[in-house]
A and B are shown apart, each in its own frame.
Chain A
Amino acid sequence: MSTPTPSLKILVAERQIVRPGDCLAIIEGPAEQRLKHVPDKHIYILGNRVYSDVVGIVSIEDSSISVVPLESTYIPRKDDIVVGVISEFSASAWYVDIKSPYRAVLPASDVIEGFNPAVHSLKNYLDIGDYVLGKIALFDRLRDPVLTVKGKGLGKIVEGFVIDIKPSKVARVIGKKGSMYNLLTSMTKCEIVVGVNGYVWAKCPDDYVLDVLIKAIRLIEAKAHMRGLTEEVKSYLVSKLGVKS
């Protein structure tokens, strides 16, 4: 499954912008006869060459190469924490918009204990337009994702603020080993949950801090493909909040 690491001659630089079809590296050794696609790394191998499949930024780690896309769509995975908006409901389930081509299903029995469709009206629990923080319980390619709100901190969002970001920038808001996330929470003293589908939920001590946090997140979004972002966000937060982490 992994790219043949030992004999990879890399042709591009770290953080270089590449486009679909750009050759990233040459494999020295036996050539792959059929096209081999590695969707997670956004590369494909044809012959003895490694190509990019998206517009993105090259990331080289331990002589393995991958591309981080600049634009992407959220595709659910099991155990993802997501923020969704209730878009519709039937007698026994809610349908949740999770900014994905696939609409999530939230079964009523998950929210209401001892659920009985004859007794309980779903509208009294979650209405259209309500935000929920949930976890993807099940997802396979044949059926729509099933959401669950069972778990610590999950459920209807009743306070705080939800910030909409591009799904491709989520990784940057979290940062390497959570560095950016830790910086944001420690400096703003906000409670923050990053939904991997491109929603950030935040509860801040006051409106001014919330405003600063939103601007910091917008800064991360706009400069996601640049170096030294953590430092820049840090100095921005220091200048606005006057605190040291």
Chain B
Amino acid sequence: MTISSKPVLISEDKKRVDGRKPDEMRPVRIAVGVLKNANGSALVEYGDTKVLAAVYGPREALPKYMTSPTRATLRVRYHMTSFSTSERKSPAPSRREIELSKVIREALEAIVFSSLFPRTGIDVFIEVLQADGGTRTAGLTAASLALADAGIPLKDLAIGVAVGKVNGVLVLDINELEDEYGEADMPVGIAPNLGEIVLFQLNGVLTREEVKIGLDMAFKAAESIYKTAKEALYNKYIKLVEEVKSQ
């Protein structure tokens, strides 16, 4: 099958390409503590988008001159595995990956109490296992959960979610196809308890009104992802209790 022209992104009965309603999230699955060697880790799935995050530290950071005498330095690497896309992606860090590492780092800096660990480094590795749109938002969610799992003091979790515009309709959590053929993509990072925005990007054109409505949609969605995230953090310890009990 070849797609020669633009696919129908919104059908007559307001259904999207994958059958979702405009304000419907893809199924979200979250697991915490999935890696043994990392201090903290999380696996986040938004539909077919799968992202793994691992946190190491706070640990001795080298070179020394890169460290700050007042706080821990966050070093974030967002990376797409070469098998994450349908066509092989070169594993070398691209312009896009360097940019996303930076915006995710800045989002995380807003929630980490980094002044507790001066002269150290906290390493965050975000590895995209499968890409289907919204990898930076899923990556941000995974990174903040991995930080929480590592026991690093945080103000709040950071939840990422994207709002897009396809065929003039605002849609939540856009997938790859909608991103490619849609008119706009607006990834938002939200600290739900504080009600703060920690990441905001916009690709495409939206009116003021649309940004407002889009943000409302994002905040609502972040709330539901947050619930799943909190459950995942809780489940790790419930599982631990059960394992011990069965011994």
- A101 and B57 within 8 A (CB): yes
A17 with B234, Cβ < 8 A, contacts A53-B154, A101-B57, A101-B117 known: yes
Number of A-B residue pairs at CB separation under 8 A: 95
- A71 and B40 within 8 A (CB): yes
Give the residues in chain B near A161, CB-CB below 8 Å: none
Give the residues in chain B near A141, CB-CB below 8 Å: 69, 118-119
CB < 8 Å: which of A21, A72, A142 contacts B155?
Answer: A21
Q: How far is the CA of A17 from the CA of B156 in the complex (A)?
A: 15
Q: How far is the CA of A21 from the CA of B194 in the complex (A)?
A: 8
Count contacts on A: residues with CB < 8 A to the other chain: 33
Q: How far is the CA of A53 from the CA of B111 in the complex (A)?
A: 10
Q: How far is the CA of A31 from the CA of B189 in the complex (A)?
A: 27
A142 with B193, Cβ < 8 A, contacts A101-B59, A103-B60 known: no
Count contacts on B: residues with CB < 8 A to the other chain: 36
- Which one, A36-44, A106-114, A125-133, A152-160, is touching chain B? A36-44
- B113 and A223 within 8 A (CB): no
A222 with B244, Cβ < 8 A, contacts A21-B157, A101-B120 known: yes
- Cβ of A148 within 8 Å of any chain B Cβ, yes or no, is no
Give the residues in chain A near B47, CB-CB below 8 Å: none
- Cβ of A69 within 8 Å of any chain B Cβ, yes or no, is yes
CB < 8 Å: which of B60, B113, B244 contacts A101?
Answer: B60
Q: How far is the CA of A102 from the CA of B117 in the complex (A)?
A: 10
Cβ < 8 Å to A, chain B residues 186-201: 191-194
Give the residues in chain B near A222, CB-CB below 8 Å: 240, 243-244
- B154 and A20 within 8 A (CB): yes
- B113 and A39 within 8 A (CB): yes
Shortest Cβ distance from B146 into chain A, in angstroms? 11
Give the residues in chain B near A101, CB-CB below 8 Å: 57-60, 117, 119-120
B 153-177 binary contact with A (CB < 8 Å = 1; else 0): 1111100000000000000000000
- B148 and A54 within 8 A (CB): yes
Give the residues in chain B near A21, CB-CB below 8 Å: 154-157, 191-194
- Cβ of A118 within 8 Å of any chain B Cβ, yes or no, is no
Q: How far is the CA of A37 from the CA of B127 in the complex (A)?
A: 32
Q: How far is the CA of A5 from the CA of B57 in the complex (A)?
A: 34
Q: How far is the CA of A225 from the CA of B237 in the complex (A)?
A: 9
Give the residues in chain A near B154, CB-CB below 8 Å: 20-21, 53-54
B 107-139 binary contact with A (CB < 8 Å = 1; else 0): 000010100111110000000000000000000
- B151 and A73 within 8 A (CB): yes
CB < 8 Å: which of B40, B193, B237 contacts A51?
Answer: B193
Q: How far is the CA of A225 from the CA of B58 in the complex (A)?
A: 23
- Cβ of A75 within 8 Å of any chain B Cβ, yes or no, is yes
- Cβ of A70 within 8 Å of any chain B Cβ, yes or no, is yes
- B194 and A75 within 8 A (CB): no
- A23 and B40 within 8 A (CB): no
Say what secondary structure dominates the interface of chain A.
loop
Q: How far is the CA of A24 from the CA of B40 in the complex (A)?
A: 24
Shortest Cβ distance from B32 into chain A, in angstroms? 9
- Cβ of A243 within 8 Å of any chain B Cβ, yes or no, is no
B 95-116 binary contact with A (CB < 8 Å = 1; else 0): 0000000000000000101001
Q: How far is the CA of A19 from the CA of B116 in the complex (A)?
A: 18
- A53 and B153 within 8 A (CB): yes
Q: How far is the CA of A102 from the CA of B151 in the complex (A)?
A: 17
Q: How far is the CA of A72 from the CA of B153 in the complex (A)?
A: 9
Name 22 A/B residue pairs within 8 A (Cβ), A-sorted: A17-B234, A19-B233, A20-B156, A20-B157, A21-B191, A22-B193, A39-B153, A44-B155, A51-B155, A53-B153, A53-B154, A54-B148, A54-B153, A55-B148, A55-B149, A70-B237, A72-B151, A73-B152, A75-B116, A101-B120, A222-B243, A226-B241
Across the A-B interface, give the 10 residue pairs with the lowest CB-CB distance, nearest first.
A71-B151, A21-B156, A21-B193, A20-B154, A101-B120, A53-B153, A101-B58, A72-B151, A222-B244, A141-B118
Q: Which B positions have Cβ atoms within 8 angstroms of A?
A: 39-40, 57-60, 69, 111, 113, 116-120, 148-157, 191-194, 230, 233-234, 237, 240-241, 243-244
Q: Which A positions have Cβ atoms within 8 angstroms of B?
A: 17, 19-23, 35, 37, 39, 42, 44, 46, 51, 53-55, 69-73, 75, 101-103, 141-142, 168, 219, 222-223, 225-226
Known: A23-B193, A142-B69. 20 other contacts (CB 8 A): A19-B148, A19-B233, A20-B111, A20-B154, A20-B155, A21-B154, A21-B155, A35-B155, A69-B151, A71-B39, A73-B39, A73-B57, A101-B57, A101-B58, A101-B60, A103-B60, A141-B119, A168-B151, A222-B243, A225-B241
